[in-house]
Amino acid sequence: MRLRYPLSEETQDMSIGLPILRPDVAAVAGTPPPAPDKARRPGRLVDSHGRTIRDMRLSVTDRCNYRCVYCMDPDFRYMPKRELLSLDEYLTIARVGASLGIRKLRITGGEPTLYAFLDELIAGVGSMGFDDIAMTTNGSLLDGMPLEQWRRDGLDRLTLSLDSLRPQRVAEITRTSATPQTVIAAIRLGKAAGFDPIKVNAVVMRDFNDDELADFADFARQYAIDLRLIEFMPLDSSKAWTRESVVTADEMLEAIGRRHELVPVESRDPASTSLNFRFADGAPGRIGIIASVSRPFCGACSRLRVTADGKVRPCLFSHEEWDLRALLRDGAADDDIRGFLADSMWTKQAGHGIGSAQFTAPVRTMSAIGG
């Protein structure tokens, strides 16, 4: 995989200290075709493949202070700020989503801790009656943030990201001076604030960090965390993804199995995206494997994604996205937004098709969609 990191000569947005660039993403998104009447159910969002949508991933920024090699190129172009939604707009989407039966909300990005109104967002969504509110963050900016207040305001879970236990590798992967200690400190802060267990995501790439799988398992035991090993997906802005770069769930299990015996754990959530395991010797910590490529879970998918610029993406790999921002900025009533979401989700594709010869990766990267 290519590693290069000169930040481009573009101007700096001093408010967040990051380059403001023209967007790489296709900004063209339209209105979904009208769905049949059976798609419009009170309090329920359904698609045309019989799935019920209960899980919203809300991206609150496309900005990030890292440039992970599997996600964002150094010269990645951000969307202009005016294109991103306002706090009120994010809250409206979450509230209307809740009225349509969305039970789980994940706040993500980009790096959500860069979002200026994160505290207000958490407090707002925390009072909307979701069963579960989580946030995914690289953890680098948590020191000094009001974690206990977030917990009291209704944030239930924290997921952190750490792709290597070796300092030099973390620096190479994130293209920053971050080290494993950055995330270890975030785990401690999170636990002290009452987030327990904490999940830690690691994207596993061949010949990059796949020699650390058993060490990752040791790390899960030592810090009593839920470790999520994620198969590398074709959502990187450098388009370096290849089928060969994917370390499959089977390979991960074999590598860990050489050091630790794992016992499968049934998930209570039928829409769970991970294969879950505990340690046979009763040690703390768990392993979850997100095998989106080798064992897709599309048939049970209950997700809807909303990008930071207000585009509804029925699937992570959608080529179509629907422009909810235009509707919001037209002063739409809640009923109109409900109708728009119902129409949008009716277009959700049956599966991502990564295994098929016709597969093409979406234009948006993971950071611009919301992981």
Binding site for ligand SF4 (CB under 6 A): 64, 66-68, 71-72, 109-111, 138, 161, 367
- How many residues contact ligand SAM, by CB under 6 A? 20
Identify the residue among 97, 197, 339, 371 touching ligand SAM (CB under 6 A). Answer: 371
Nearest by Cα to 119 from 151, 72, 84: 151
Q: Which residues contact 29 (CB under 8 A, 6 or more apart)?
A: 311, 320, 321, 322, 323
Residue nearest to ligand SAM according to CB distances in the complex: 371
Nearer to ligand SAM, 310 or 339 (CB): 310
The residue range among 16-24, 92-100, 105-113, 297-305 that interacts with ligand SAM, by the rule CB under 6 A, is: 105-113
The C-alpha atoms of residue 371 and residue 353 are separated, in whole angstroms, by 18
CB of 191 to ligand SAM, least distance (A): 17
Supply φ then ψ for residue 332, to 5 degrees. Answer: -60, 145
Nearer to ligand SAM, 247 or 256 (CB): 247
CB of 233 to ligand SAM, least distance (A): 4
CB of 163 to ligand SF4, least distance (A): 9
The secondary structure of residue 315, as a DSSP letter, is S
Nearer to ligand SF4, 45 or 135 (CB): 135
Q: Are the beta carbons of 140 and 65 closer than 8 angstroms?
A: yes
Residue 108 binds to ligand SAM (criterion: CB under 6 A)? yes
Nearer to ligand SF4, 76 or 322 (CB): 76
The neighbouring-strand residues paired with 287 are 227, 277
> Residues 182 to 221: which contact ligand SAM by CB under 6 A?
201, 203
Q: Are the beta carbons of 123 and 151 closer than 8 angstroms?
A: no
Residue 243 structure tokens: 């089928």
Identify the residue among 47, 73, 111, 212 touching ligand SAM (CB under 6 A). Answer: 111
Residue 161 binds to ligand SAM (criterion: CB under 6 A)? yes
Query: Is residue 178 exposed (0-12), middle (13-18) or buried (19+ Cβ within 10 Å)?
Result: buried
Residue 72: contacted member of ligand SF4, ligand SAM, none (CB under 5 to 8 Å, by partner type) = ligand SF4
DSSP 235-280: --TT----GGGBPPHHHHHHHHHTT--EEEE--S-TT--SEEEEET
The neighbouring-strand residues paired with 275 are 289
Residue 289: contacted member of ligand SF4, ligand SAM, none (CB under 5 to 8 Å, by partner type) = none
The residue range among 29-37, 97-105, 131-139, 336-344 that interacts with ligand SAM, by the rule CB under 6 A, is: 131-139
Produce one character per residue of 130-164: b if its CB has 16 or more CB atoms within 10 Å, e if not.
Answer: beebbbbbbbbebeebebeebbebbbbbbbbbbbb
Residue 252 binds to ligand SAM (criterion: CB under 6 A)? no
Residue 225: contacted member of ligand SF4, ligand SAM, none (CB under 5 to 8 Å, by partner type) = none
Residue 366 binds to ligand SAM (criterion: CB under 6 A)? yes
Residue 236: contacted member of ligand SF4, ligand SAM, none (CB under 5 to 8 Å, by partner type) = ligand SAM
Identify the residue among 97, 109, 154, 288 touching ligand SAM (CB under 6 A). Answer: 109
Nearest by Cα to 159 from 109, 217, 202, 200: 200
Residue 61 binds to ligand SAM (criterion: CB under 6 A)? no
Q: Residue type for 79, please?
A: M
Largest separation between any pair of C-alpha atoms in the chain:
58
Residue 67: contacted member of ligand SF4, ligand SAM, none (CB under 5 to 8 Å, by partner type) = ligand SF4
Going by their DSSP bridges, the two strands 104-108 and 132-137 should be labelled as: parallel
Residues that bind ligand SAM (CB under 6 A): 64, 70-71, 108-109, 111, 136-138, 161, 201, 203, 230, 232-233, 235-236, 366-367, 371
